[in-house]
């Protein structure tokens, strides 16, 4: 959305509010102002605060999974990634999935939780926030976002062998926040800023940008992903 169009939308909204204030009571004007704040701006991904969730045991494709709360979990296996097909849809903990966030899906970990993912094929490491369920194909252990796959260096390949480590202190903090209905989105940003962020696969696109911009605002290419079958948003 351009600066001009954004300014135009804001100006139109303000004119609407001021006009209503002259025509109605103060309480009515406050109501209109509240409604105006809920108007989504064009081309912006909607947001929604997620909740803390463990979930009951569930069955996908004949296999039973047992979600549990754990702050000392480690796992090694094959990770895949998901993006365009799920962008803007609900995650298992009630957030709106954004393929450009540093998030991941796991089959049993509490939501949200904070994990360190290391690509064992190239040594790249990244801190991600788990907010979704999956993957459920080919015995994969983790689904990461489009952005995370690029930074971990396996977006073009589609999969990679990874090591998953739950960060106990950080996971307890986001659990506390979620239980208190606080927004945990972006919690992982500062954790990645404390280390040198990995360079995305499309290194020719890199510029001298602040860490947050590098992690979230890099343009992506239209490569084919090996997205796994995912359908456990109710678990």
Whole-model pTM?
A: 0.70
Report how far apart, in Å, the C-alpha atoms of 43 and of each of 1, 40, 88, 91 are. Answer: 6, 9, 11, 20
84-100: string of b/e by CB count within 10 Å (b at 16+)? eebeeeebbbbbbbbbb
Asked if 53 and 113 touch (Cβ cutoff 8 Å), the reply is: no
Fold of 58-216: Barwin-like endoglucanases (2.40.40)
pLDDT of residue 160: 98
Domain boundaries, given as residue ranges, for the chain: 3-37, 58-216
CA–CA separation, 89 and 217 (whole Å): 20
pLDDT in tens, the chain (235 residues): 544 455 555 555 555 445 445 444 444 444 333 333 334 444 555 668 899 999 999 999 999 999 999 999 999 999 999 988 899 999 999 999 999 999 999 999 999 999 999 999 999 999 999 999 999 999 999 999 999 999 999 999 999 999 999 999 999 999 999 999 999 999 999 899 876 556 566 544 333 333 333 444 433 333 334 444 454 455 6
Q: Where are the beta strands (DSSP E) in the chain?
A: 58-60, 63-65, 74-82, 103-105, 113-119, 125-132, 142-145, 160-166
Q: Which of 138, 83, 147 is nearest to 117 (CA)?
A: 147
């Amino acid at each position: 959305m351009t600066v001009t169009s954004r300014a135009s939308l804001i100006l139109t909204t303000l004119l609407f509010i001021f006009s209503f204030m002259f025509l109605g009571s103060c309480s009515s004007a406050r109501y209109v102002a509240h409604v105006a704040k809920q108007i989504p701006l064009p081309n912006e991904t909607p947001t929604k605060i997620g909740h803390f969730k463990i979930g009951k045991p569930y069955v996908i494709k004949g296999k039973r999974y047992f979600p549990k709360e754990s702050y000392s979990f480690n796992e090694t296996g094959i990770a895949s990634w998901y993006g365009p097909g799920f962008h803007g849809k609900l995650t298992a903990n009630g957030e709106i999935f954004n393929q450009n966030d540093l998030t991941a899906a796991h089959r049993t970990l509490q939501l949200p939780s904070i994990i360190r993912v290391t690509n064992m094929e190239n040594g790249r490491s990244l801190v991600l926030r788990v907010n979704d369920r999956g993957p459920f194909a080919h015995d994969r252990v983790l689904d990461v976002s489009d952005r995370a796959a690029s930074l971990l260096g396996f977006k073009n390949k589609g999969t990679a062998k990874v090591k998953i480590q739950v960060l106990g202190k950080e996971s307890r903090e986001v659990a506390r926040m979620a239980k208190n209905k606080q927004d945990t989105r972006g919690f992982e940003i500062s954790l990645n800023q404390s280390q040198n962020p990995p360079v995305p696969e499309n290194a020719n696109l890199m510029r001298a940008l602040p860490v947050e911009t590098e992690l979230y605002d890099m343009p992506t290419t239209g490569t084919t992903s090996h997205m796994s079958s995912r359908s456990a948003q109710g678990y």
